[in-house]
Each structure stands twice: as C-alpha cells, then as structure tokens.
Amino acid sequence: MALGEFDLIRRYFLREAGAGARSEARAAAGVELGIGDDAALLRVADGEDLVAAVDAIVAGRHFPACTAPRSIGHRALAVNLSDIAAMGAVPRWALLSLTLPAADPDWLEEFAAGLHALADAHGVALVGGDTTAGPLNVCVQILGSAPRGTALRRSGAAPGDLIVVTGTLGDAAAGLAIVQAHAPGAADSPGQRELVRRFDYPVPRVEFGIAARGIASAAMDLSDGLAGDLPRLAAASGLAAAVAIERLPLSAALREYASLAEARELALSGGDDYELLLCVAPQRYQSLAAAAEALGLPLCVIGEMHAGSGVAWSLDGAPAAPARQGFDHFR
Ligand code: ADP
Ligand code: MG
C-alpha cells in the first residue's frame, strides 16, 4: 500500500504530547504551534538569543549508501546538535526537510526511531519540515537559545589561551574506513565495532557546550577534521595556533586498529568526530576540566594560541605538517 505524503508525516513525524517526561516538557516549552500548519510558532524568553543552524546530509557524501536508516536519522540531528553545542546553546526545536526515493515504511520507521531517540534525549521538539520525492537527502534545521550575549563564538580566543578538545579524535574516520573496506556490520573485533559505532552514532557534546559557556573563550565543533577546522577558529580569532600532535587524544580502539602514525593522521585529518574544540584562558582551565569531569567526558590540552596567524603543528618538538587538510566538498 502506497503511503501518501500526509499519512507519512502523521505516522512518522507527528508525535502526540505524552505523559510529561522531563525531556517532553522541555521540548514543549515555547512551542505555540508545531507540525500541521503552514509554519511553526515558537517563542524564546525575553533576555535570550535565538540560535539557528542548518546542515544537510547526503547519501554517498556524508554517509555510505548502505548506512542503516536508524543511523541516518541519528546523524541528521546529531550534526546539527553539535553546531548548537559549539555555541554553548540549549537545543530546542528542529525542522526536517526530507527527500526520499520512496516511502518505504520499514526505512521510515527506523529513520524516525533514530531521529526521535536523539531528539528525546536532548528535549528537542520536531516542529515542522518538508517532504518530497527524489534522491535521498536529509536536511535538519535546528533552533536553540542562549542567555543574551553568552553564546560561544569562534572569534573569542586570546593569546595564551589553551586549546582543548573533548573525547578522542580520529575514531569516526577509522569507523568509516572499516565500513568502506568491509561491508556494513562486518567489523571483526569489538574495537572495530566501537569505531564503526563512533561513525554511525556521533554523540554531540551538548551538555558540555552549555557548561563551557562563560568559561571557554571560543569554541567550534570538529566536523571536518582538526587540520581543517582549527585554522578556521584561529582565523576567526585573528590569532595563530600551536598544536603538539603527540598530545592528540587517541582511543584504545583506534590504537588497536592503526599504527601510531596512522592514528595521528586520522585524528588530524579525519572528519565526523563531532567533538568540541575550545580555547580557554589558563586560569580558567580547571573550571572547564571540572565541568568535563562532571559529565564523564575526557578533555585534553593540545596546544595554545599566540599572536600571529595560521597553525604551527609540531611532533615531539619538531615542526610537522598534517598529510592532508580537512574535508572540503569542492576540493
Ligand atoms: P506546505 O505545503 O505548507 O509546505 P506541507 O504539506 O509541506 O506544508 O507540510 C504540512 C505540515 O507538515 C507542515 O506543518 C510541515 O511543517 C509539516 N511537515 C512536512 N514534512 C515534515 C517532516 N518530514 N517532518 C516534520 N514535519 C513535516
Ligand atoms: Mg512544505
């Protein structure tokens, strides 16, 4: 039975307000009108900034065509939550623009489950979208809020600030390499399965971004790889960055999968980690570290900011350069 556009939206994306779980209460806050009209009506409180971002993910570009639909639903929202995290904002509402080759109920069920699970975990309400037929393309717009003037920017770093990253780097790139070399689900050790999971289900650092507000001087999320992303933060702050490659945090799973040199290259140039890159004044570092520890999130100092421009990479004290820059769609 063919599923019509409106049945599809009603069945998979319109959700009744439930029994009042905390995340639902937060998701409902500020929603005057959600799915069903020509547009949603949303309210931020006086004294708050509305924080907006949009990111599309395209089959064959951002994920292999064989990716499980649950992972695609998760990723579409996760990449947007990561942008909100990098601003230190609270994610609140999402809109979903979905282009689908066919209205396949099994696919939609799984896709919606991946999206809704992550939305629920962060108290985000899906308040609208658009549904069309065509090559698979998933675009989510996210809206969040932050107390006026407090959102973290890329431009706020000062000379002498420490450069820190959350979590471990390079895992997602290794996970993607495993998927591409084998077949989906064909990772052949627990470590490799962990790396694939890091690619398929990125964890946006939303709580930490909020905690870093008022402590960090600058932040961005790592979507294209440190080697491509850090120069952008340095340029936005009008400063140079110096990074000691031997300090990059590498997971045990990555170290098991790759040689040390390969692992470092993945940590530098691999995309899709969705960890946060932050700058923090040395005297505030302890507060930031305490916030990370409270969330059970590793935090690692990898370098510092200086007057000047560009990024100086070093390995054990000697100048070194990443073999590849970060990912660029048009290069
Ligand atoms: P319009 O023709 O005015 O653009 P649509 O028919 O596209 O309206 O959508 C009807 C309602 O369903 C709108 O409220 C829209 O925001 C919502 N909607 C459409 N597609 C989706 C989707 N994939 N996810 C969530 N809401 C959607
Ligand atoms: Mg529409």
| Alpha-carbon span 3 to 329, nearest angstrom | 34
CB 61, CB 137: distance < 8 Å: no
| Alpha-carbon span 100 to 111, nearest angstrom | 11
- Pick the residue whose CA is nearest to atom 18 on ligand 1: 129
| Atom in ligand 1 nearest the alpha carbon of residue 34 | 14
- Pick the residue whose CA is nearest to atom 16 on ligand 1: 128
Closest CA to 278 of 206, 320, 222, 324: 222
- Indicate whether 6 pLDDT > 90: no
Closest ligand relative to 12 C-alpha: 1
Exposed, middle or buried, 45 (CB in 10 Å: 0-12/13-18/19+)?
Answer: exposed
- Pick the residue whose CA is nearest to atom 7 on ligand 1: 130
Residues 6+ apart with CB under 8 A from 39: 33, 128
- Indicate whether 185 pLDDT > 80: no
Exposed, middle or buried, 117 (CB in 10 Å: 0-12/13-18/19+)?
Answer: middle
Closest ligand relative to 131 C-alpha: 1
In the 3-class helix/strand/coil scheme, how is 113-153 assigned residue by residue? HHHHHHHHHCCCEEEEEEEEECCCEEEEEEEEEEECCCCCC
Alpha carbon of 260 to ligand 2 centroid (Å): 49
Alpha carbon of 96 to ligand 2 centroid (Å): 10
Alpha carbon of 130 to ligand 1 centroid (Å): 5
| Atom in ligand 1 nearest the alpha carbon of residue 35 | 14
Q: What is the pLDDT of residue 25?
A: 79
| Atom in ligand 1 nearest the alpha carbon of residue 36 | 14
- Indicate whether 241 pLDDT > 60: yes
- Indicate whether 327 pLDDT > 90: no
- Pick the residue whose CA is nearest to atom 10 on ligand 1: 36
Q: Among 80-89, 131-140, 185-194, which is the least confidently predicted range?
A: 185-194
CA 61-63-64 angle, 5° bins: 95
Phi, psi of 125 (to 5 degrees): -100, 135
Alpha carbon of 58 to ligand 2 centroid (Å): 20
Closest ligand relative to 125 C-alpha: 1
| Alpha-carbon span 192 to 194, nearest angstrom | 5
Residues 6+ apart with CB under 8 A from 67: 59, 75, 179, 184, 200
CATH superfamily of 154-319: PurM-like C-terminal domain (3.90.650.10)
Exposed, middle or buried, 23 (CB in 10 Å: 0-12/13-18/19+)?
Answer: middle
| Alpha-carbon span 4 to 49, nearest angstrom | 38
Tokens 């052949």, located at residue: 188
pTM comes to 0.94
Q: What is the pLDDT of residue 27?
A: 81
CA 30-154-267 angle, 5° bins: 105
The sign of the torsion formed by the CA atoms of 301, 166, 144, 54 equals positive
The residue ranges of every structural domain in the chain are 5-147, 154-319
Which H or E run includes 88?
A: none
CB 219, CB 276: distance < 8 Å: yes
Q: What is the pLDDT of residue 19?
A: 45
* Rg value, the chain, Cα: 20
- Indicate whether 93 pLDDT > 90: yes
Report residues near ion ligand 2: CB below 5 Å: 130
Ligand 1 is surrounded, with C-beta below 6 A, by 9, 13, 35-38, 96, 98, 126, 128-131
pLDDT category at 186 given cuts 50, 70, 90 is low
Q: Give the model confidence (pLDDT) of 44-85 as tens digits.
A: 999 999 999 999 999 998 999 889 999 999 999 999 999 999
Across residues 188-211, what is the average pLDDT?
A: 96
pLDDT category at 115 given cuts 50, 70, 90 is very high
Mutate to test the pocket of ligand 1, among 8, 9, 136, 141 (most ligand atoms within 8 A of CB): 9
Tell me the pLDDT of the chain averaged across its residues: 93
Residues 6+ apart with CB under 8 A from 225: 173, 268, 269, 270, 271, 273, 325, 326, 327
5-147 has which fold?
A: 60s Ribosomal Protein L30; Chain: A; (3.30.1330)
Closest ligand relative to 39 C-alpha: 1
pLDDT category at 9 given cuts 50, 70, 90 is very high
Q: Where are the alpha helices (DSSP H) in 41-134?
A: 69-86, 105-121
Mutate to test the pocket of ligand 1, among 6, 11, 35 (most ligand atoms within 8 A of CB): 35
Q: What is the pLDDT of residue 42?
A: 96
- Pick the residue whose CA is nearest to atom 21 on ligand 1: 129
| Alpha-carbon span 331 to 324, nearest angstrom | 12
| Atom in ligand 1 nearest the alpha carbon of residue 37 | 14
Q: Which amino acid is located at 199 in the chain?
A: F
